[in-house]
């Protein structure tokens, strides 16, 4: 290894090239010029004494060494981002940046009005929202607060249950008018069903017992809950939707309510190290209150 301490910016550029696959794409993502990105990679390789990428006309392919360094570089990025968030919060009043992670439906459909109210109360507060279901976001300090549909079990986290979000099968009125309303789970087989593409362990625990609600029977498949919701709203067919969310849309109708229902425990969590952070405790409380109100509309 060369006797040179790598610059943090080189690691940041390294991560971007890993993610984007080319110098030009990384340059656009970072707001740098392509030659600058290239110099960063060359300098990092020289400082570390290893080849990080195989260059070709198709782009930059990560070497074995680059893949081995990837998690450590990501940890550096998370630490640097946490440092900036903490530094931004110092001063009088509640200020600075809070990074929140939530599932795509909760992040897009539930949190915006809660966060807008929080911002009105604390105008110096800045919000970063990450749409993710990863359980390790908080442990890796990639986010300050997480909204999750399962109970966080790590001892280093402060977690509060804010209620249960009910899920049910829903369809647009227009679809039911055209195709009729199923009266039993067996009758679902005659309908256009909306569901997942890849079955995860989480889905396996909560999907309907009926064999009709199986991937092979879906007319529309997507792993994005938002995409499924959009298909339901467009009148494509019958799919799973949060009851509280459907209650806000007069065009959505629940079907088979007595036989198909789930309740997802909803939790808010943050790292114990942030319990004395005003910006995080205020945001944590606002999320808990807002989501509890949302759940109560079911």
- Residue of 54, 33, 52, 36 whose CA lies nearest to 44: 52
CATH topology of domain 90-162+265-296: D-Maltodextrin-Binding Protein; domain 2 (3.40.190)
pLDDT of residue 121: 92
CB distance 219 to 193 below 8 Å = yes
Q: How far apart are CA 83 and CA 80, in angstroms?
A: 5
- For the chain, the 3-state helix, strand and coil shares in percent, each to the nearest 5, are 45, 25, 30
pLDDT of residue 116: 96
Name which CATH class applies to 8-86: mainly alpha
On whether the pTM is more than 0.85, the answer is no
- Residue of 159, 119, 77 whose CA lies nearest to 85: 77
The label of the residue with tokens 């889905």 reads 203
pLDDT of residue 264: 86
- Phi and psi torsions of 248, nearest 5°: -85, -5
Question: Residues for the chain: how many in total?
Answer: 298
pLDDT of residue 210: 47
Q: How far apart are CA 32 and CA 44, in angstroms?
A: 16
Name which CATH class applies to 164-264: alpha beta
| CATH 1.10.10.10 boundaries in the chain | 8-86
Low-confidence ranges of the chain (pLDDT < 70): 1-4, 81-82, 84-93, 134-141, 200-213, 298
pLDDT of residue 1: 47
Identify the sign of the CA torsion 202, 208, 214, 215: negative
| CATH 3.40.190.10 boundaries in the chain | 90-162+265-296, 164-264
- How distant is the alpha carbon of residue 52 from its chain centre? 29
């Amino acid at each position: 290894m060369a006797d040179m301490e790598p610059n943090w910016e080189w690691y940041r550029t390294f991560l971007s090239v890993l993610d984007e696959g080319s110098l030009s794409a990384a340059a656009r993502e970072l707001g740098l010029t392509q030659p600058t990105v290239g110099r960063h990679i060359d300098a990092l390789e020289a400082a570390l004494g290893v080849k990080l990428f195989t260059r070709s006309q198709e782009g930059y392919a990560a070497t074995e060494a680059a893949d081995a360094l990837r998690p450590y570089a990501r940890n550096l990025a998370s630490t640097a981002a946490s440092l900036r968030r903490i530094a931004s919060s110092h001063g009088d009043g509640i200020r600075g940046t809070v990074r929140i992670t939530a599932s795509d439906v909760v992040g897009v459909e539930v949190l915006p009005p809660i966060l807008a109210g929080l911002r009105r109360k604390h105008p110096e507060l800045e919000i970063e929202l990450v749409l993710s279901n990863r359980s390790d976001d908080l442990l890796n300090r990639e986010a300050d607060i997480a909204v999750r549909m399962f109970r966080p079990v790590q001892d280093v986290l402060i977690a509060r249950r804010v209620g249960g979000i009910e899920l049910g099968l829903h369809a647009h009125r227009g679809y039911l008018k055209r195709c009729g309303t199923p009266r039993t789970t067996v009758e679902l087989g005659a309908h256009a069903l909306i569901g997942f593409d890849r079955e995860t362990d989480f889905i396996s625990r909560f999907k309907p017992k009926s064999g009709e609600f199986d991937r092979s029977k879906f007319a529309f498949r997507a792993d994005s809950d938002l995409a499924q919701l959009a298909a339901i709203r467009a009148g494509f067919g019958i799919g799973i939707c949060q009851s509280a969310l459907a209650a806000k849309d007069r065009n959505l109708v629940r079907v088979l309510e007595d036989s198909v229902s789930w309740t997802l425990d909803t939790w808010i969590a943050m790292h114990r190290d942030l319990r004395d952070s005003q910006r995080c405790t205020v945001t944590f409380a606002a999320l808990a209150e807002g989501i509890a109100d949302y759940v109560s509309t079911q």
